[in-house]
Amino acid sequence: MLAGTKVLIAEDDPNSARLISDYLAAKGAQITWKKDGSEALEEAQAGNYDLLILDLRLPGKNGFVVAREIRNDEHLFDLPIIVTSAFPDEQNLLLSYQLGVNLFLSKPVNLKKLFLHVKSLVTRKHKLENKMLEALYRLNNFCEEKLNRPGHAARVENNCLALAAACKLEKHMASLRVAARLHDLGLIFTGNSSEHGPVGAKITRIFGVNQEIAYLIEKHHDNITPVAEKRLDDMLYSYLEILKLAEKIEETYRNSISCFYQDQDKGFLNPEVIPVISKLIGAG
């Protein structure tokens, strides 16, 4: 099954798109459909997709252009791409593979075959991501040992989970957990510099970590609002605030309970999280 798998479909034929969408959705995939190549590329860049199913003849940017730009994007270069085309001639086939497409399927698409390939490509992508995350976790542990703060990231992650549960938030949880584990990764190169967020985000992007995680790492010390960041959805903004608060619990409230009480009295804290923070720091 494809439970939780995010699939982007770029297809200008509604019947073809609906056929593939319905079949993969029945297997558990979360489907987004765009009928324009330019819109599909923007969606791929803004979202966090596990796979792209791409038609070649699209309005806006055609499938070849979309595939080329994705492979040249440092954030998307490893996104699996399956081309589906009613024109499976040798020229289209060769050019698709030259551009880095993973698979070329002729229309009408054999849905059972498509499902097996989607499952295989997504599984491989997730295995590679897990290996990269393991390497990043090891690097972060080394950083913490060098800075004499072992276990800091694990404690921040635990704080994030407790705060998110109190706020009844579920979406983006996987991204939040990874960001919590790696939020201070940049300190190994910048010391206490205020630039460690962007540096850490750059490191994770090099390793192919998704954009949500990199964004949370990059901005976890910035003062931003959803209005200032128009591309930031409300839920992701909430998780950014949770990550900031989770680290403040470790770096400020645990060392000074009076700071916690002051922030509480000034109304800086959401009432829903006050009991959680009290329990985490052993206050009252």
Domain residue limits, the chain: 6-124, 147-281
Q: What is the pLDDT of residues 199-210, one digit of tens each?
A: 999 999 888 888
Query: Higher-confidence residue: 255 or 4?
Result: 255
| E strand or H helix that includes residue 83 | strand 81-85
Check residue 220 and give its pLDDT.
93
Q: What is the pLDDT of residues 170-194, one digit of tens each?
A: 777 888 999 999 999 999 888 767 7
| E strand or H helix that includes residue 132 | helix 111-146
Q: What is the mean pLDDT of the segment spanning 229-249?
A: 83
Domain 6-124: give its CATH architecture: 3-Layer(aba) Sandwich (3.40)
- Give the contacts of 18 (CB within 8 A, at least 6 positions apart): none
In which band, very low, low, confident or very high, does the pLDDT at 236 lie, cut at 50, 70 and 90? confident
pTM over 0.75: yes
Check residue 222 and give its pLDDT.
84
Q: H helices of 47-110, where?
A: 63-71, 90-98
Q: What is the pLDDT of residues 156-173, one digit of tens each?
A: 999 999 999 999 887 778
CATH number for the segment(s) 147-281: 1.10.3210.10
In which band, very low, low, confident or very high, does the pLDDT at 59 lie, cut at 50, 70 and 90? very high
Is the model's pLDDT at 10 over the cut of 90? yes
Check residue 47 and give its pLDDT.
79
Other C-beta atoms closer than 10 Å to the C-beta of 111 total: 15
Contact between 203 and 172 under an 8 Å Cβ cutoff? The reply is no
* Alpha-carbon gap, residue 246 to 226, rounded angstroms: 20
In which band, very low, low, confident or very high, does the pLDDT at 232 lie, cut at 50, 70 and 90? low
Is the model's pLDDT at 224 over the cut of 70? no
Q: What is the pLDDT of residues 12-52, one digit of tens each?
A: 999 999 999 999 999 999 999 999 999 999 999 887 899 99
Is the model's pLDDT at 231 over the cut of 70? no
Check residue 217 and give its pLDDT.
95
| E strand or H helix that includes residue 20 | helix 14-26
What percentage of the chain reaches a pLDDT higher than 90?
Answer: 74
Is the model's pLDDT at 240 over the cut of 60? yes
* Alpha-carbon gap, residue 82 to 187, rounded angstroms: 39
Residue with tokens 């997730």: 126
Burial 143-180 (b: 16+ CB within 10 A, else e): bbeeeeeeebbebbbbbbbbbbebbeeeebeebbbbbb
| E strand or H helix that includes residue 9 | strand 6-10
